[in-house]
Amino acid sequence: MDHPLPTRVYVVSDSVGETGESVVRAAAMQFHPVPVEIVRAPFIHDIEGIDKVINAIRIHGGIVVFTLVIPELRDDLIAKAKEHGIPHIDLLGPVVNTLGQALRQEPRRQPGMIHPLDEDYFKKVEAVEFAVKYDDGRDFSGIQKADIILLGVSRTSKTPLSMYLAHKRFKVANVPLVPEMQPPAAIYTVAKDKIIGLRIDPDKLNVIRQERLRTLGLAENATYANVERIKIELAFADKIMSKIGCVIFDVSNRAVEETASLVMDHIERVQ
């Protein structure tokens, strides 16, 4: 069976590019599981930066989506994209122009206004750094400091879920559950209300792991993607989660955003 190469989408912004990336990710979910690779090009403040993006697309192919509020940069990108036949989408321009007409006012054309460097912004940065530091059992000391602890076997979306929740200002540690290794004792001593177990259908996990092996160029029949091995891992994970008595969410057919919403609702209820 042939597997399509990922479509590459370059998100160009004169700020951090988070708005553009969020829109692209939301749109890409409508085509799941067709792969979409997002390349963020933030803080583009000059024509040289535009040229680098255009050259990258000419070499590797792709689409450009942009949130440029500086007219000169936006116009330059549009002109060069048209010149080279590159599909391009202006996310902010039409909205800003229409609002300007309705309000009878000129926009400020100032990048980064949606992300002011206030206390809330720095909390978000801190949460992201926390998620990276305590990702996938790198350092179990984060369990005691975390707002949320995610438990699950490999490929249950622990890392992307951690990062999504971090952008919502939650400090998240995630712990991989592997039968050959007992989980850290700390998960039995922290409040169970902040521990989230992630469950998944074994057949679904088998497909995900096979795709992961293909991506890495490895044989699809490796033990990692063996159905019987997967069932052993899931049984072990269920045993640990039952012992803790934590809430469990099934991620089999849920997007990361959906699971995150369930997690945040749970945390809000128990706080």
What φ, ψ does residue 108 adopt, rounded to 5°? Answer: -75, -20
CA-CA distance, 218 to 221, in Å (whole number)? Answer: 9
Report the pLDDT value the prediction gives residue 3, as an integer from 0 to 100.
46
CA-CA distance, 151 to 162, in Å (whole number)? Answer: 11
Q: Which residues of 163-194 are buried (b: 16+ CB within 10 A; e: fewer)?
A: bbbbeeebbbbbbbbeeeeebeebbeebeeeb
SS3 assignment, position 233: helix
Per-residue pLDDT tens for 11-28? 999 887 888 888 998 888
Report the pLDDT value the prediction gives residue 1, as an integer from 0 to 100.
38
154 is in an annotated binding site: yes
Per-residue pLDDT tens for 132-184? 999 988 899 999 999 999 999 999 999 999 999 998 999 999 999 999 999 99
Report the pLDDT value the prediction gives residue 6, as an integer from 0 to 100.
61
Per-residue pLDDT tens for 227-248? 999 999 999 999 999 999 999 9
The pLDDT confidence band at residue 70, using thresholds 50, 70 and 90, is confident
CATH code of domain 119-270: 3.40.50
Q: Which residues of 198-227 are buried (b: 16+ CB within 10 A; e: fewer)?
A: bbbebebbbebbbbbbeeeeeeeeeebbee
Report the pLDDT value the prediction gives residue 118, as an integer from 0 to 100.
61
Contacts of 105 (CB under 8 A, 6+ apart): none
98 is in an annotated binding site: no
Residue 7 in this model has a pLDDT that exceeds 70? yes
CA-CA distance, 234 to 198, in Å (whole number)? Answer: 10
Q: Which residues pair with 201 in a beta bridge?
A: none
Q: Which CATH number fits domain 7-103: 2.40.10.10, 3.30.1330.120, 3.30.1300.30, 3.40.50.2300?
A: 3.40.50.2300
Q: Where are the alpha helices (DSSP H) in the chain?
A: 18-28, 47-60, 71-83, 93-103, 119-133, 158-166, 202-215, 227-244, 256-270
25 is in an annotated binding site: no
What number of CA atoms fall less than 13 Å from residue 104's CA on the CB side? 0
159 is in an annotated binding site: yes
156 is in an annotated binding site: yes
Report the pLDDT value the prediction gives residue 2, as an integer from 0 to 100.
46
Report the pLDDT value the prediction gives residue 121, as an integer from 0 to 100.
74
CA-CA distance, 139 to 141, in Å (whole number)? Answer: 5
Strands 247-250 and 195-199: parallel
The pLDDT confidence band at residue 113, using thresholds 50, 70 and 90, is low
Per-residue pLDDT tens for 184-219? 999 999 999 999 999 999 999 999 999 888 888 888
CA-CA distance, 229 to 33, in Å (whole number)? Answer: 24
Residue 117 in this model has a pLDDT that exceeds 80? no
CA-CA distance, 55 to 107, in Å (whole number)? Answer: 30
For the ranges 16-25, 38-47, 117-126, which has the lowest average pLDDT? Answer: 117-126
Which range has the top average pLDDT, 219-223, 241-245, 254-258? 241-245
153 is in an annotated binding site: yes
Query: Which tokens is 267 given?
Result: 């945390």
Report the pLDDT value the prediction gives residue 33, as an integer from 0 to 100.
77
Contacts of 158 (CB under 8 A, 6+ apart): 135, 136, 150, 152, 174, 176, 198
CB burial of residue 8 (10 Å; 0-12, 13-18, 19+): middle
Q: In whole angstroms, what separates CA 2 from the centre of its chain?
A: 26
Chain region(s) in the chain for CATH 3.40.50.2300: 7-103
| Mean pLDDT for the chain overall | 90
| pLDDT (mean) for 39-62 | 93
Q: Which amino acid is at 191?
A: A
Q: Peptide bond preceding 33: is omega within 30 degrees of 0, i.e. cis?
A: yes
